[in-house]
Amino acid sequence: MTRALLLIDIQNGFCPGGNLPVADGDAVVAIANRVIEKGGYDLVVASQDWHPANHGSFASQHPGKKPFDMGVLSGQPQVMWPDHCIQGTPDAEFHPDLDTARIDHVQRKGENPAVDSYSAFRDNDKAALTGLSGYLKSKGVTELDLMGLATDYCVRFSALDAVDMLPGAKIRLIADGCRGIDPKGVEEALAAMAHAGVEIIDSSRIGI
């Protein structure tokens, strides 16, 4: 039995002061560090949004569009985001207080400018895999805990894909280790994850 922790996009860009800040996003850092220390995980993995400067999900790439407008990318509805987590910039770096020394593997995502990648496992069109599922399977992962940013986007998509792509594995969401963008979206995301079989837990249960 191999237990793994997946930290989702705990980057400067999604924390206060970043280009796409999630309210209170930096509050998950201390929880992540505590969970890493106390959880007894065999493996700690972190996903990292890693966009080229011309990424098609950026409003700046679509004349007349403003951040958070709806648009189309590769034929699919797409939220137009502010430029964020551009490769090699401070915005894309992990939060400086995150215990990155304990991270065994970093999975970058969102590198294809033609499609967005909320999930740590695959692009939104579900055509291209990031390689994370293969990595976790190669390590024999049977239990996966997830937490990070943002609940209603990258956390939700990653958790649902974990259920789909790691059949038989126990998937748990550390709910207090997440923060979301839209309260209604967070509520819907938690319901969707629970419906798919993700166990919703609190970090106080980790390491007991």
Strand bridging mode 170-179 / 141-149: parallel
Q: Quick one: pLDDT at residue 58? A: 98
Is residue 9 annotated as a catalytic residue, yes or no?
A: yes
Note the pLDDT of residue 205.
87
Q: Which of 109, 116, 123, 145 is catalytic?
A: 109
| CA 37 remoteness from chain centre | 20
Calpha distance 131→149 (Å, rounded): 20
Catalytic residue, chosen from 152, 154, 161, 178, is 154
Edge-to-edge strands, sheet with 170-179: 105-109, 43-49, 2-8, 141-149, 170-179, 199-201
User: Mean pLDDT in each 10-residue stretch from start to end of the chain (208 residues)?
Assistant: 97 98 98 96 98 98 97 93 98 98 98 97 93 97 98 98 97 98 97 98 87
How far is the C-alpha of 115 from the C-alpha of 56, rounded, in Å?
7
pLDDT at 132: 98
Residue positions counted in the chain? 208
* Predicted local confidence at residue 208, as pLDDT: 58
Residue 109 annotated in active site: yes
Catalytic-residue membership of 38: no
The span from the CA of 178 to the CA of 29, in Å, is: 10
